[in-house]
Structure 1
Protein backbone atom coordinates (compact mmCIF):
# COMPACT_ATOMS: atom_id res chain seq x y z
CA UNK A 1 0.00 0.00 0.00
CA UNK A 2 1.43 3.37 -0.96
CA UNK A 3 1.80 6.14 1.58
CA UNK A 4 -0.91 8.29 -0.13
CA UNK A 5 -3.63 5.67 0.32
CA UNK A 6 -2.80 4.69 3.86
CA UNK A 7 -5.76 5.82 6.05
CA UNK A 8 -3.41 6.94 8.79
CA UNK A 9 -1.80 9.43 6.42
CA UNK A 10 -5.01 10.94 4.98
CA UNK A 11 -4.94 14.01 7.23
CA UNK A 12 -1.29 14.68 6.43
CA UNK A 13 -2.31 16.22 3.10
CA UNK A 14 -3.17 19.96 3.31
CA UNK A 15 -6.20 19.47 1.03
CA UNK A 16 -7.61 16.69 3.20
CA UNK A 17 -7.06 18.69 6.39
CA UNK A 18 -8.94 21.67 4.89
CA UNK A 19 -11.82 19.41 3.91
CA UNK A 20 -11.98 17.91 7.39
CA UNK A 21 -11.97 21.37 9.00
CA UNK A 22 -14.72 22.59 6.65
CA UNK A 23 -16.88 19.55 7.41
CA UNK A 24 -16.48 19.98 11.15
CA UNK A 25 -17.33 23.70 10.88
CA UNK A 26 -20.48 22.95 8.89
CA UNK A 27 -21.51 20.25 11.37
CA UNK A 28 -21.00 22.53 14.35
CA UNK A 29 -23.01 25.36 12.80
CA UNK A 30 -25.87 22.97 11.99
CA UNK A 31 -26.04 21.86 15.61
CA UNK A 32 -25.96 25.44 16.89
CA UNK A 33 -28.76 26.54 14.55
CA UNK A 34 -31.09 23.62 15.36
CA UNK A 35 -31.17 24.22 19.12
CA UNK A 36 -32.60 27.77 18.93
CA UNK A 37 -35.17 26.58 16.38
CA UNK A 38 -36.40 23.93 18.82
CA UNK A 39 -36.56 26.46 21.63
CA UNK A 40 -38.38 28.91 19.36
CA UNK A 41 -40.99 26.32 18.35
CA UNK A 42 -41.66 25.46 22.00
CA UNK A 43 -42.06 29.16 22.79
CA UNK A 44 -44.37 29.70 19.83
CA UNK A 45 -46.75 27.04 21.15
CA UNK A 46 -47.01 28.94 24.43
CA UNK A 47 -47.53 32.28 22.68
CA UNK A 48 -49.86 31.31 19.84
CA UNK A 49 -53.61 31.55 20.18
CA UNK A 50 -56.71 30.00 18.65
CA UNK A 51 -59.92 32.02 18.33
CA UNK A 52 -63.12 30.01 18.81
CA UNK A 53 -64.42 30.54 16.23
CA UNK A 54 -62.25 32.43 13.82
CA UNK A 55 -63.60 35.33 11.74
CA UNK A 56 -65.34 32.87 9.38
CA UNK A 57 -67.73 31.85 12.18
CA UNK A 58 -68.91 35.26 13.34
CA UNK A 59 -72.55 35.17 14.40
CA UNK A 60 -72.67 31.37 14.61
CA UNK A 61 -72.83 28.85 17.45
CA UNK A 62 -70.81 25.66 17.87
CA UNK A 63 -72.54 22.31 18.33
CA UNK A 64 -71.18 19.41 20.37
CA UNK A 65 -69.42 18.00 17.27
CA UNK A 66 -67.48 21.23 16.78
CA UNK A 67 -69.44 22.35 13.72
CA UNK A 68 -70.62 25.90 13.19
CA UNK A 69 -74.43 26.09 13.31
CA UNK A 70 -77.05 28.87 13.34
CA UNK A 71 -77.45 30.72 16.66
CA UNK A 72 -80.86 29.23 17.42
CA UNK A 73 -79.67 25.59 17.20
CA UNK A 74 -80.71 23.69 20.35
CA UNK A 75 -77.81 22.36 22.41
CA UNK A 76 -75.24 24.58 20.71
CA UNK A 77 -72.87 26.96 22.45
CA UNK A 78 -72.27 30.63 21.71
CA UNK A 79 -69.22 31.29 19.61
CA UNK A 80 -67.80 34.31 21.37
CA UNK A 81 -64.57 34.58 19.41
CA UNK A 82 -62.63 34.06 22.63
CA UNK A 83 -58.96 33.28 22.04
CA UNK A 84 -57.32 30.39 23.85
CA UNK A 85 -53.55 30.05 24.14
CA UNK A 86 -51.70 27.05 22.80
CA UNK A 87 -51.02 25.91 26.36
CA UNK A 88 -54.71 26.11 27.29
CA UNK A 89 -55.70 24.11 24.21
CA UNK A 90 -52.95 21.58 24.87
CA UNK A 91 -54.29 21.05 28.40
CA UNK A 92 -57.85 20.76 27.04
CA UNK A 93 -56.73 18.13 24.53
CA UNK A 94 -55.49 16.15 27.53
CA UNK A 95 -58.87 16.33 29.29
CA UNK A 96 -58.97 19.66 31.11
CA UNK A 97 -61.64 22.26 30.41
CA UNK A 98 -60.84 25.45 28.57
CA UNK A 99 -60.86 28.46 30.92
CA UNK A 100 -64.27 30.06 31.45
CA UNK A 101 -66.23 27.19 29.91
CA UNK A 102 -68.37 24.34 31.20
CA UNK A 103 -67.23 20.79 30.53
CA UNK A 104 -69.70 20.37 27.63
CA UNK A 105 -68.89 23.76 26.15
CA UNK A 106 -65.17 23.06 26.41
CA UNK A 107 -65.60 19.72 24.63
CA UNK A 108 -67.55 21.41 21.81
CA UNK A 109 -64.82 24.06 21.47
CA UNK A 110 -62.08 21.41 21.45
CA UNK A 111 -63.99 19.53 18.75
CA UNK A 112 -64.16 22.78 16.77
CA UNK A 113 -60.39 23.23 17.16
CA UNK A 114 -59.77 19.65 16.00
CA UNK A 115 -61.75 20.40 12.83
CA UNK A 116 -59.65 23.45 11.89
CA UNK A 117 -58.24 23.34 8.38
CA UNK A 118 -55.40 25.11 6.64
CA UNK A 119 -56.26 28.74 6.02
CA UNK A 120 -58.53 29.07 9.04
CA UNK A 121 -57.54 31.30 11.91
CA UNK A 122 -55.78 29.24 14.61
CA UNK A 123 -54.89 26.32 12.33
CA UNK A 124 -51.13 26.95 12.43
CA UNK A 125 -51.17 27.08 16.23
CA UNK A 126 -53.17 23.84 16.42
CA UNK A 127 -50.84 22.16 13.90
CA UNK A 128 -47.81 23.12 15.98
CA UNK A 129 -49.48 21.57 19.04
CA UNK A 130 -49.88 18.32 17.12
CA UNK A 131 -46.23 18.32 16.09
CA UNK A 132 -45.01 18.90 19.65
CA UNK A 133 -46.57 15.72 21.00
Structure 2
Protein backbone atom coordinates (compact mmCIF):
# COMPACT_ATOMS: atom_id res chain seq x y z
CA UNK A 1 0.00 0.00 0.00
CA UNK A 2 1.33 3.44 -0.97
CA UNK A 3 1.04 6.12 1.73
CA UNK A 4 -1.09 9.20 1.02
CA UNK A 5 1.08 11.49 3.17
CA UNK A 6 4.81 11.68 3.80
CA UNK A 7 6.14 11.39 7.33
CA UNK A 8 6.07 15.17 7.71
CA UNK A 9 2.32 15.25 6.95
CA UNK A 10 2.62 16.68 3.42
CA UNK A 11 0.44 14.87 0.84
CA UNK A 12 2.29 12.71 -1.65
CA UNK A 13 2.38 13.64 -5.32
CA UNK A 14 0.05 10.73 -6.08
CA UNK A 15 -2.52 12.06 -3.56
CA UNK A 16 -2.35 15.61 -4.97
CA UNK A 17 -2.87 14.31 -8.53
CA UNK A 18 -5.82 12.19 -7.42
CA UNK A 19 -7.46 15.20 -5.74
CA UNK A 20 -6.88 17.28 -8.86
CA UNK A 21 -8.61 14.68 -11.01
CA UNK A 22 -11.64 14.64 -8.70
CA UNK A 23 -11.83 18.45 -8.69
CA UNK A 24 -11.60 18.64 -12.50
CA UNK A 25 -14.51 16.21 -12.79
CA UNK A 26 -16.59 18.39 -10.50
CA UNK A 27 -15.90 21.49 -12.60
CA UNK A 28 -16.88 19.68 -15.79
CA UNK A 29 -20.16 18.51 -14.26
CA UNK A 30 -21.06 21.88 -12.69
CA UNK A 31 -20.59 24.02 -15.83
CA UNK A 32 -23.51 22.43 -17.77
CA UNK A 33 -25.72 22.81 -14.71
CA UNK A 34 -24.93 26.54 -14.55
CA UNK A 35 -25.67 26.92 -18.24
CA UNK A 36 -28.98 25.13 -17.79
CA UNK A 37 -29.84 27.34 -14.80
CA UNK A 38 -29.06 30.52 -16.77
CA UNK A 39 -31.38 29.32 -19.53
CA UNK A 40 -34.19 28.57 -17.12
CA UNK A 41 -33.84 32.02 -15.53
CA UNK A 42 -34.43 33.65 -18.90
CA UNK A 43 -37.53 31.47 -19.40
CA UNK A 44 -39.04 31.97 -15.94
CA UNK A 45 -42.18 34.11 -15.76
CA UNK A 46 -43.21 37.22 -13.86
CA UNK A 47 -46.96 37.92 -13.68
CA UNK A 48 -48.01 41.58 -13.36
CA UNK A 49 -49.50 41.66 -10.81
CA UNK A 50 -49.06 38.37 -8.99
CA UNK A 51 -52.02 35.93 -9.22
CA UNK A 52 -53.34 36.89 -5.76
CA UNK A 53 -54.02 40.41 -7.03
CA UNK A 54 -55.09 39.64 -10.59
CA UNK A 55 -57.63 42.13 -11.87
CA UNK A 56 -56.03 45.01 -9.96
CA UNK A 57 -54.37 47.89 -11.77
CA UNK A 58 -50.74 49.07 -11.62
CA UNK A 59 -50.03 52.78 -11.10
CA UNK A 60 -47.08 54.64 -12.64
CA UNK A 61 -44.95 53.99 -9.54
CA UNK A 62 -45.53 50.23 -9.76
CA UNK A 63 -47.98 50.00 -6.87
CA UNK A 64 -51.03 47.75 -7.08
CA UNK A 65 -54.22 49.84 -6.92
CA UNK A 66 -57.94 49.05 -7.23
CA UNK A 67 -59.27 48.32 -10.72
CA UNK A 68 -60.22 51.32 -12.82
CA UNK A 69 -58.05 53.73 -10.80
CA UNK A 70 -57.54 56.83 -12.93
CA UNK A 71 -54.06 56.97 -14.50
CA UNK A 72 -53.29 53.33 -13.64
CA UNK A 73 -52.96 50.41 -16.04
CA UNK A 74 -54.87 47.11 -16.17
CA UNK A 75 -53.07 43.87 -15.30
CA UNK A 76 -50.92 42.39 -18.00
CA UNK A 77 -52.87 39.76 -19.96
CA UNK A 78 -49.87 37.43 -19.76
CA UNK A 79 -46.78 37.00 -17.57
CA UNK A 80 -43.49 38.32 -18.92
CA UNK A 81 -40.53 36.01 -19.51
CA UNK A 82 -37.37 36.70 -17.55
CA UNK A 83 -35.56 37.40 -20.81
CA UNK A 84 -38.12 40.07 -21.78
CA UNK A 85 -37.84 41.78 -18.40
CA UNK A 86 -34.05 41.66 -18.40
CA UNK A 87 -33.88 43.14 -21.90
CA UNK A 88 -36.37 45.89 -21.05
CA UNK A 89 -34.52 46.84 -17.88
CA UNK A 90 -31.15 46.87 -19.65
CA UNK A 91 -32.18 48.82 -22.74
CA UNK A 92 -35.18 50.85 -21.61
CA UNK A 93 -37.25 49.37 -24.42
CA UNK A 94 -40.88 48.56 -23.72
CA UNK A 95 -42.01 45.14 -22.57
CA UNK A 96 -43.72 43.19 -25.37
CA UNK A 97 -47.29 44.29 -26.06
CA UNK A 98 -47.03 47.51 -24.04
CA UNK A 99 -46.48 51.18 -24.76
CA UNK A 100 -43.71 53.06 -22.96
CA UNK A 101 -45.85 54.34 -20.05
CA UNK A 102 -47.45 50.97 -19.32
CA UNK A 103 -44.09 49.22 -19.63
CA UNK A 104 -42.49 51.68 -17.19
CA UNK A 105 -45.30 51.05 -14.67
CA UNK A 106 -44.93 47.27 -15.05
CA UNK A 107 -41.13 47.44 -14.67
CA UNK A 108 -41.59 49.60 -11.57
CA UNK A 109 -43.96 46.94 -10.21
CA UNK A 110 -41.40 44.21 -10.95
CA UNK A 111 -38.64 46.17 -9.22
CA UNK A 112 -40.83 46.40 -6.11
CA UNK A 113 -41.43 42.64 -5.91
CA UNK A 114 -40.71 41.11 -2.53
CA UNK A 115 -40.22 37.59 -1.25
CA UNK A 116 -43.47 35.64 -1.34
CA UNK A 117 -44.94 37.48 -4.31
CA UNK A 118 -45.42 35.71 -7.63
CA UNK A 119 -42.44 36.36 -9.89
CA UNK A 120 -40.06 37.38 -7.08
CA UNK A 121 -37.76 34.36 -7.48
CA UNK A 122 -37.55 34.94 -11.22
CA UNK A 123 -36.77 38.64 -10.76
CA UNK A 124 -34.19 37.91 -8.04
CA UNK A 125 -32.52 35.40 -10.36
CA UNK A 126 -32.22 38.04 -13.06
CA UNK A 127 -30.27 40.20 -10.61
CA UNK A 128 -27.65 37.52 -9.92
CA UNK A 129 -24.36 38.10 -11.73
CA UNK A 130 -23.48 35.33 -14.19
CA UNK A 131 -19.99 33.84 -14.25
TM-score (norm 1): 0.82
SS for the counterpart of 1:75 is coil
Q: Contact 1:53–1:82 (CA<8 Å) still a contact in 2?
A: no
Give the distance between the partners of 1:132 and 1:87, measured in 2 at CA. Answer: 14
Partner of residue 86, structure 2 = 90
1:125 Cα offset (Å): 0.9
2:115 alignment partner, one of 113, 118, 129: 118
User: How many pairs align?
Assistant: 121
The runs of at least 4 aligned residues of structure 1 exceeding 4 Å deviation read none
Q: Which residue of 2 aligns with 1:65?
A: 61
Structure (1/2) with the larger helix percentage: 1
Q: Distance in 1 between matches of 2:59 and 2:74?
A: 9
Deviation at residue 87 of structure 1 after TM alignment? 0.9
**Structure number, greater radius of gyration:** 1
Deviation at 1:54, TM superposition (A): 1.1
| Structure 1 vs Structure 2 CA RMSD | 1.7
**1:70 CA drift (Å):** 0.6
Segments of 5+ residues of structure 2 without an aligned counterpart are 5-11
Please give the alpha-carbon distance, in whole angstroms, between the structure 2 residues aligned to 1:125 and 1:81.
18
In the other structure, the counterpart of 1:24 is 20
User: In structure 2, what is the equivalent of residue 102 of structure 1?
Assistant: 99
Query: What is the DSSP-based 3-state SS (H/G/I as helix, E as strand, rest coil) of the residue aligned with 2:125?
Result: helix
Measure, in 2, the Cα distance between the counterparts of 1:49 and 1:35: 24
Q: Is the 8 A contact 1:53 1:81 kept in 2?
A: no
**Residue aligned with 1:82, SS:** coil
